[in-house]
Amino acid sequence: MQFSSDKEGVDQLAQSYKDLSSEIGKVIIGQKKVVQSVIISMFSNGHCLLVGVPGLAKTLLVSTISEVLDLDFKRIQFTPDLMPTDITGAEILDDARNFKFNKGPLFSNIVLADEINRTPPKTQAALLEAMQERSVTVNGQRYDLPKPFFVLATQNPIEQEGTYPLPEAQLDRFMFNIPLDYPSYEEELEVVKGTTSDKKVQLNNIVTGDQILAFQNLIKRIPIADNVLEYAVSLVAKTRPGREKATQQVNDYISWGAGPRASQYLVLGAKCHAAIHGKYSPDIEDVRAIAPYVLRHRIVRNYKAEAEGITEEKVITGLF
């Protein structure tokens, strides 16, 4: 898929976003910021970590998005006994007694890593190469994953028994960390009304895989002013304690700040945020709009912050 001009491409991307939001809204009530963030990450070729208590439709959201995007979808339930080969696949003996690679569920366009923190680090690490390189290596042989490829992982923030916290290297592979909150009273009424009846919703395919790849390339070509680029990089630099740009709050409450990948995702995300709203170039407000999702899981609070109840969100807000 090609556009006659990048402006036409941005117009098509903005319309596709409206159509996607409308179609997803047939199933997912409310959660508009969450839906927007997931779509931005996909159009920016990034992965998402959805964090919320049980019952907030995290899994339903991902499966609904896979339907309207007309992409292959696989769900992996992460459990303590899950092995790396259960995700990536393994070599098996065929009928002719030759080794053949049997592809695992990772070979799909959208992979839902459900309750990713319930599996040990050894299995979590099986996703590292896939998320960064879009490939899997088994017995020295590299296998490319289908394009586009996204990992959408879910995590329960309140239940810690029997879980394994994601290491920083794993967290850094996710473009966005998206918190899900309880629906409003009116939204919950609508949810209960729709899910306790025999009403069935027919979803339409809105965007194809080829269109997503074209949008991903378009996002990279969108121009960004030097002052906006500098603002994004400066915002990330402020999260690093002991450095020149660090704020007093960061020096007091943060052990480790965000790395260069955060700057890259801030710029890509700001470009996409601008494009879905019909703008041909991002401004500082676009950077600020996505900054909490990019930075939340990349800054590490120290003991003083935890003792005083200083959240990541409060620190991030203090950077603006």
Q: Which of 97-101, 122-126, 206-210 has the lowest mean pLDDT?
A: 97-101
**What's the whole-number average pLDDT of the chain?**
86
Domain count of the chain?
2
Q: Quick check: is 179 in a domain?
A: yes
Tell how strand 176-179 and strand 254-256 pair up: unpaired
Q: Are residues 168 and 31 in the same domain?
A: yes
Could you tell me the sign of the dihedral formed by the alpha carbons of 246, 247, 250, 253, in that order? positive
Q: Are residues 169 and 144 in the same domain?
A: yes
Q: Which of 209, 235, 259 is the last residue of a domain?
A: 209
Question: Does one domain contain both 103 and 13?
Answer: yes
Confidence of residue 140 (pLDDT cuts 50, 70, 90): confident
pLDDT category at 162 given cuts 50, 70, 90 is low
Question: 111 and 239: one domain?
Answer: no
104 and 169: one domain? yes
Domain edge (last residue) among 176, 209, 242: 209
pLDDT > 90: percent of the chain: 25
Q: Does residue 216 belong to any structural domain of this protein?
A: no
Same domain, 129 and 185: yes
pLDDT in tens, 255-290: 888 889 999 999 999 999 999 998 999 999 999 999
Which of 209, 235, 268 is the last residue in one of the domains? 209
Q: Residue 30 domain-assigned?
A: yes
In the predicted model, is pLDDT for residue 108 greater than 70? yes
pLDDT of residue 236: 92
Instruction: Assess whether pLDDT exceeds 80 at residue 158.
Output: no
Extract the tokens encoding 189: 């009424």
Residue 40 sits in the same domain as residue 107? yes
123 assigned to some structural domain: yes
What confidence score (pLDDT) does residue 159 get? 61
Residue 219: inside a domain, yes or no? no
Q: Are residues 144 and 245 in the same domain?
A: no
pLDDT in tens, 174-231: 999 998 888 888 888 888 877 777 777 778 888 888 889 999 999 999 999 999 999 9
Task: Locate 135 and state its tokens.
Answer: 């490939």
| pLDDT band, very low/low/confident/very high, at 82 (cuts 50, 70, 90) | confident
Q: How large a percentage of the chain has pLDDT more than 70?
A: 97
Name the band, by pLDDT with cuts 50, 70 and 90, for residue 161: low
Q: Which of 4-8, 50-54, 60-64, 312-316 has the lowest mean pLDDT?
A: 4-8
Domain annotation covers residue 101: yes
Looking at the fold, whether 166 and 242 belong to one and the same domain comes out as no
* 40 band by pLDDT with thresholds 50, 70 and 90: very high
Among 257, 220, 227, smallest CA distance to 242 is for 257
70 burial class (0-12, 13-18, 19+ CB within 10 angstroms)?
middle
Q: What is the pLDDT of residue 90?
A: 80
Q: Where in the sequence is the domain holding 274, given as residue range(s)?
A: 224-317
Is the pLDDT confidence value at 47 over 70? yes
In a domain, 49, yes or no: yes
Q: What is the pLDDT of residue 295?
A: 92
pLDDT number for residue 271: 94
Q: What is the CATH number of the domain that holds 73?
A: 3.40.50.300
Give the mean pLDDT of 77-100.
Answer: 82
- pLDDT number for residue 160: 62
In a 10 Å sphere around its CB, with 0-12 CB exposed, 13-18 middle and 19+ buried, how is residue 227 labelled? exposed
Q: Are residues 47 and 190 in the same domain?
A: yes
Same domain, 205 and 231: no
Decide if pLDDT at 119 tops 70: yes
